[in-house]
Amino acid sequence: NSTVLPGLLILAAMLAGGPPAPAQPLPAPPPVSAGAARTLNDPIFPSLGQLGLDVRHYDVALTVAEPGTPELSGAVTLTLAATRPLAEVRLDFYGPTVTAVRWNGQAAPFRMEPDRQKLVVTPPAPLLPGQEARLTVEYQGAPGVILDPDFSTPLRLGWQAVPAGEGGAGANFTLSEPQGTHTFLPTNDHPSDKATFTTRVTVPPGFTAAASGLEGAVVEGSGTRTFVFTQAEPIPTYALAVHVNRFERVMAPPVPVGANGAPVVRRDYFPVGTADSTRSAYARTDEMLRVLSGWFGPYPFGAYGVAVVTPPLPALETATLSTMPVRSSNERVAVHELAHQWFGDAVSPATWADVWLNEGFATYAELLWTEAQGGDGQAVAARWYAILAQGGTRPLVATQAGQLFDRSAYQRGALALHALRAAVGDAAFRAFLHAYTARFSGKSLTTADLLTFAHTQVGGAGEAALRTWVESPGLPPLPVPAH
Ligand code: TYR
C-alpha cells in the first residue's frame, strides 16, 4: 500500500538484494503518432496495448529452473479475437529473447520493436472480427527491466527475483501494476482487455509454485514438478500472480461467500520459516470475506488467500492470491488487498487515469472493517480528511503517472464513497455497491461510467455527492453519514 511506502527501505532492498540488472531501464517510449494510432491510447501510458485486439485467454507455461535468478523460459498460447481487421498483432513484450512464434500452429514471421516494447507478429491473413486465432510465443532468458513510473521510489516492475541466501532458498514472483506483466509475458498489457488464464509453472523439486486461480493436480516430471492453475474469471494482466518459493501451503475451511453462497477455497502460501507474527495478520481472512461480501456482494472468484514475500515492496492485489510482503502483513493492508479482489481485479478501470476506482474503494474497505470491529469509522474518515487538507489534493481522474497511487487516489477516492454513503444512507449505499459489482464484474469502466451508473441506481443527489468529490479542484467538506 503506497500510503505507507518506506521509500528508503525499498531503495536499500533494491541495492542490497536485487540481482544485477540484465538490461538498462528504458526511458518512456514516445507517444504513437496519430497516423500509427494502433495502441489503446491510454491517457497515462499511451504506448500500451493494441487497438482492436481482444485477448480472451492466456495459456501460460513458465519454467523456472533456478529459483532466485531472473532467468525463465516460457511458452504462451494466446486465444485472440479482433474488433477490427488486424494485419499485424502487436503485443506488449519486453521479456526474454523470443525463440519461436506460431499462428494456429504454423511458424509465423515476427519482429521486436524494443523501443516500444512490442512483439509484432504477421499472420498469414489479417485477423478479422468474428474470427479466433491461437498465437504461440516461446522465449527464454532474462526479463526486461521496467522501472515503476508512478512511485517516487525506484521499483522494478514485473518478474522479481529474490536470490538465495539470507535465510531464503531463492524465490521469484510477479509485482506488475501497472505495466510489468510484459517483462515476462507477451500480453495486450492493459486493464481494458481482461482475460482468463491457465498458468503452468515448472520448478525444481523442493520448490512450490503458486498462481492466480484454482489449483489442479501437480505433474511430476523427471527432476521437475509442474503446478497448474486455472483463473476462470477474466482479470487484468497486471493482476496475474505467479510465485515460486519454498512455500508451506496452508489450507483453511472454504467460506460460503461466492455467488449464491458458493464456497470460496481458502489457501495461503508462507515461505518456510515465516514468523507467527506475520501469519497472524491473515488469521481473520474468513471474517474479512464475510464482512466485505456483506457490503460489496458475492466474492467474485473461486479462491482467496495470500502469498507472503520477503522483500519490502508494496503489497499487491494479485487475483485470488494477494502478494503480501512481510512488512505489510497487518490487518489494515490485508483487508485493503482483499477488497481489491472486487475493485480492481473483478471490476477494473478502463484506463490508468481511472485507477482511483481501485484504490478509493479498497481504502474505503479499511473504514468498513474498522466499523465491523466496533471501531469509529468517522474518525478514520476524519484522519483521511486531515491528510488531504494538509498534503493537498486533486480531482480524481489522474492526468500523470505520478498521481496513480497518491493520497488523492486512496484517501480522496475513499471519501468520495463516504460522501455517497452520507447522501443516500447505509441501505442504499450497500445496495449500490452490490449493484455496481454485479454490473461491472469481469468488465472495465471509466469514472464517467461510474457517475452514470450512480445516477441510475441512487438518483441525482447521490450522483452529485460523488461528482463533487470526483471533480472539484479543492477539498469538499468532510461528509458525515447519519447512522
Ligand atoms: N495496488 C497496490 C495497493 O494495494 C499498490 C501497488 C501499486 C503495489 C503498484 C504495487 C505496484 O506495482 O495499494
Query: What pLDDT is stored for residue 33 in this prediction?
Result: 39
Burial track 283-310 (b if 16+ CB lie within 10 A, e otherwise) = ebbbebbebbbebbbbbbbbbbbbbbbb
Q: Over the stretch 228-270, which tens digit does the pLDDT of each residue have?
A: 999 999 999 999 999 999 999 999 999 999 999 999 999 999 9
Q: Over the stretch 45-88, which tens digit does the pLDDT of each residue have?
A: 999 999 999 999 999 999 999 999 999 999 999 999 999 999 99
H or E element at residue 37 = none
Query: What pLDDT is stored for residue 231 in this prediction?
Result: 99
Residue closest via CA to ligand 1's atom 6 equals 316
Q: Over the stretch 330-385, which tens digit does the pLDDT of each residue have?
A: 999 999 999 999 999 999 999 999 999 999 999 999 999 999 999 999 999 999 99
Furthest CA-CA distance within the chain: 65
Q: Which of 175, 319, 237 lies closest to 48 in space, CA to CA?
A: 237
Q: Which of 362, 347, 345, 358 lies closest to 398 in space, CA to CA?
A: 358
Phi-psi map region of 68: left, alpha, beta (phi>0 left; psi -120 to 50 alpha): left
Q: Which of 228, 238, 111 lies closest to 183 in space, CA to CA?
A: 238
Q: Over the stretch 442-482, which tens digit does the pLDDT of each residue have?
A: 999 999 999 999 999 999 999 999 999 999 999 999 999 88
- Whether the Cβ atoms of residue 368 and residue 295 lie closer than 8 Å to each other: yes
Comparing 161-170, 239-248, 310-319, 371-380, the range with the smallest average pLDDT is 161-170
- Residue percentage of the chain with pLDDT more than 90: 88
In the structure, what pLDDT confidence band is assigned to residue 125 with cuts at 50, 70 and 90? Answer: very high
Helix (H, G, I), strand (E, B), or coil: what is residue 75? strand
The rounded mean pLDDT for the chain is 92
- The whole-model pTM stands at 0.92
- Whether the Cβ atoms of residue 60 and residue 197 lie closer than 8 Å to each other: yes
Q: Which residues lie with the beta carbon below 6 Å from any ligand 1 atom?
A: 1-2, 148, 157, 175, 177, 314-317, 336-337, 340, 359, 405
Q: How far is CA 409 from CA 151, 254, 363, in A?
A: 13, 33, 9
Distance CA 357, CA 175 (A): 20
| Ligand 1 center from residue 429 Cα (angstroms) | 26
DSSP class of residue 363 equals H
In the structure, what pLDDT confidence band is assigned to residue 26 with cuts at 50, 70 and 90? Answer: low
Query: What pLDDT is stored for residue 7 in this prediction?
Result: 32
Residue closest via CA to ligand 1's atom 1 equals 316
Q: Over the stretch 200-226, which tens digit does the pLDDT of each residue have?
A: 999 999 999 999 999 999 999 999 999
H or E element at residue 398 = none
Query: What pLDDT is stored for residue 363 in this prediction?
Result: 98
In the structure, what pLDDT confidence band is assigned to residue 116 with cuts at 50, 70 and 90? Answer: confident
Ligand 1 atom with the smallest distance to the CA of 344 is: 1
As given in the structure block, the three cell numbers for residue 17 are 538484494
| Whole-complex ipTM | 0.97
Q: What is the mean pLDDT of residues 103-115?
A: 95
Integer distance in angstroms from the first to the last C-alpha of the chain? 29
Q: Could you give phi then psi for residue 59, rounded to 5 degrees?
A: -105, 105
Ligand 1 atom with the smallest distance to the CA of 177 is: 12
Distance CA 369, CA 336 (A): 9
Residue closest via CA to ligand 1's atom 5 equals 1
Is the pLDDT assigned to residue 101 strictly greater than 70? yes
Is the pLDDT assigned to residue 13 strictly greater than 50? no
In the structure, what pLDDT confidence band is assigned to residue 37 with cuts at 50, 70 and 90? Answer: very low
Q: Over the stretch 427-439, which tens digit does the pLDDT of each residue have?
A: 999 999 999 999 9
Query: What pLDDT is stored for residue 152 in this prediction?
Result: 63
As given in the structure block, the three cell numbers for residue 382 are 476524519
Ligand 1 atom with the smallest distance to the CA of 333 is: 4
- What torsion do the CA atoms of 46, 48, 51, 56 make, to the nearest 10 degrees? -150
Strand 347-349, strand 443-445: pairing: parallel
Q: Which of 148, 177, 151, 146 lies closest to 3 in space, CA to CA?
A: 151
In the structure, what pLDDT confidence band is assigned to residue 98 with cuts at 50, 70 and 90? Answer: very high
Tell me the sheet residues that pair with 192: none
- Give, to the nearest 10 degrees, the angle between helix 356-372 and helix 447-471: 70
Q: How far is CA 346 from CA 229, 233, 294, 319, 390, in A?
A: 18, 8, 16, 8, 33
Ligand 1 atom with the smallest distance to the CA of 180 is: 12
